[in-house]
Amino acid sequence: MKVAKFGGTSLANAEQIKKVCDIVLSDSDRKIIVVSAPGKREKSDTKVTDLLIACAEKQLADGNAVEELNAVVKRFKDIADDLKLGDEIINEIKADLEGRLKLDTSHKGMFMDAMKAAGEDNSAKLVAAYLNSIGKKAQYVSPKQAGLLLSSEFGNAQVLPESFENLKMLCGIDGIIIFPGFFGYTAEGNVATFPRGGSDITGSILAAALKVDLYENFTDVDAVYAAHPGLVNNPVAISEITYREMRELSYAGFSVLHEDTLIPVFKAGVPVNIKNTNNPTAPGTKIVLSRDYSPNSHVVGIASDDSFCCIYVSKFMMNREIGFGRKLLQILEDEGISYEHTPSGIDNISIIFKQSQIKNTSIEQKILARIKNELNCDDVSIDHGLAMIIIVGEGMKNTVGTASRATTALAKASISLEMINQGSSEVTMMFGVRQYEAHKAVISLYNEFFNRR
């Protein structure tokens, strides 16, 4: 049995939905189908989720979101009409949307999640209706019916452990199951969503709970590439990659999968295959527990992420002061800052985090003052406008000279390094550069590790 998830571009219009259903029906093992909300039909279009967010925001602002609601209904109606489904399904979708708009708005996050989830929920109803209209047995199954329970962290919910046992009930349902991605229900019965892109996570949870043979993630690209196609011309397609490698690349800017997607399938040992809805016969990229690599394929990909800043802290004899690191990180925790990396020396430490977490200069100055005064530091400063470039590959652990090749390539491109960091797992190597040099850094590293093979 397989779980197959289809993204927003795969469900953007009737033509795409027909492609999705052809793919599903071409393999009898595809029993559980996870769907996203309809995405963009063309570049200037608006995703249904964004239409729903606009609708929710208008309702919260003045309680009159009729025009915004009608825009969402029209998107679904256009699809339904092109699929020749009749009025019944659209009346059902319209009633659902109108009901959500009447929900209590006193808890903004809860209301917003209920509205956002309508995209996936009604997309699933539409796909199930189409399959039944062409004589194929399909059933829409709600996450509530299936027991997909999430924490009450609206907009950033986490799956609760009991969900995995609950979801086994899906095995007893006949026909093709159409399951909406992106959301579940709290123990109190409220809708809660994963972060944007969370339909990937839903598919992974279902695949892990049912211990299927394969989790297929259909998107709009033929494969995962060794570098972002927007940065590197015609990059190498990756045929096989490990869970750890893919998670590192997703975290560092690869947008093919949400970075949290792989945790459930990794724990369950379910392989993942990323494929293209518009080219379903292409082999795609397989994500597995381990892979073979040669001396020329020890690096699997290069990614970049920008808009970082770094707090630099210096204090003589820091290494002798027990608890210094804990106290430093406690200050950041108090101020609501989560960190990414902490490269350090004997008497200094750097804390790297996303710049977006510092909302204004007063918060920045408060953090710096607290660190200096509470920890009696010699020097505290903050550096903005950094980008992190990472090289990822399981094979780096057993390959001599990777760091040397990388730094030489960057030096030849006249790129100044702000920092270097390599984790003990040796799966990734990180280079901090100025934000404006990130593109050039990715190209120089790609040329070194892929064009010289």
One DSSP character per residue, 269-296 reads T--EEEEETTBTTS--EEEES-----TT
Q: Residue 146 and residue 177: Cα distance in Å, rounded? A: 11
Of 119, 210, 100, whose CA–CA distance to 163 is shortest? 210
Residue 86 is encoded by which pair of tokens? 């009749």
Both tokens assigned to 241: 């990659």
202: number of CA atoms within 13 Å, CB side?
35
- Is the alpha carbon torsion for 14, 17, 23, 25 positive or negative? negative
User: What tokens appear for 400 in the block?
Assistant: 């001599």
Q: What is the DSSP string of 207-258?
A: HHHHT-SEEEEEESSSSEESS-TTTSSSPPEESEEEHHHHHHHHHTT--SS-
Residue 6 in marked binding region:
yes
Q: Does the annotation list 8 as a binding residue? A: yes
Question: Which residues, listed in sequence order, are joined to residue 240 by a DSSP beta bridge?
Answer: 286
- For residue 5, the surrounding DSSP H or E stretch is strand 2-6
* Neighbouring-strand partners of residue 349: 313, 344
Q: Is 361 annotated as a binding residue?
A: no
Residues forming beta bridges with residue 389, ordered by sequence position: 304, 431
325 Cβ contact list (under 8 Å, min separation 6): 342, 344, 349
Q: What does the block give as tokens for 61? A: 């602002």
Q: Is 225 annotated as a binding residue?
A: yes
449 labelled binding-site residue: no
Three-state secondary-structure class, residue 193 = strand
Rg over alpha carbons for the chain, rounded to the nearest Å, is 24
For residue 47, give every residue at least 6 positions away whose Cβ sits within 8 Å of its Cβ, in sequence order, or none: 8, 37, 38, 39, 40, 119
Tokens of residue 80, six digits:
């339904």
The count of C-alpha atoms lying within 13 angstroms of the C-alpha of 430, restricted to the half-sphere facing its C-beta, is 22
Cα–Cα distance for residue pair 238/293, rounded to 1 Å:
12
Burial label, 63 (beta-carbon count in 10 A; 0-12, 13-18, 19+): exposed
Asked if 350 and 419 count as a contact pair (C-beta separation under 8 A), the reply is: yes
7 assigned ligand-binding residue: yes
Q: Any binding-site annotation on 383?
A: no
5 is in an annotated binding site: yes
Question: Residues marked as binding for substrate?
Answer: 49, 120
* Binding annotation: 5-8, 49, 120, 219-220, 225
Q: What residues form the annotated binding site for ATP?
A: 5-8, 219-220, 225
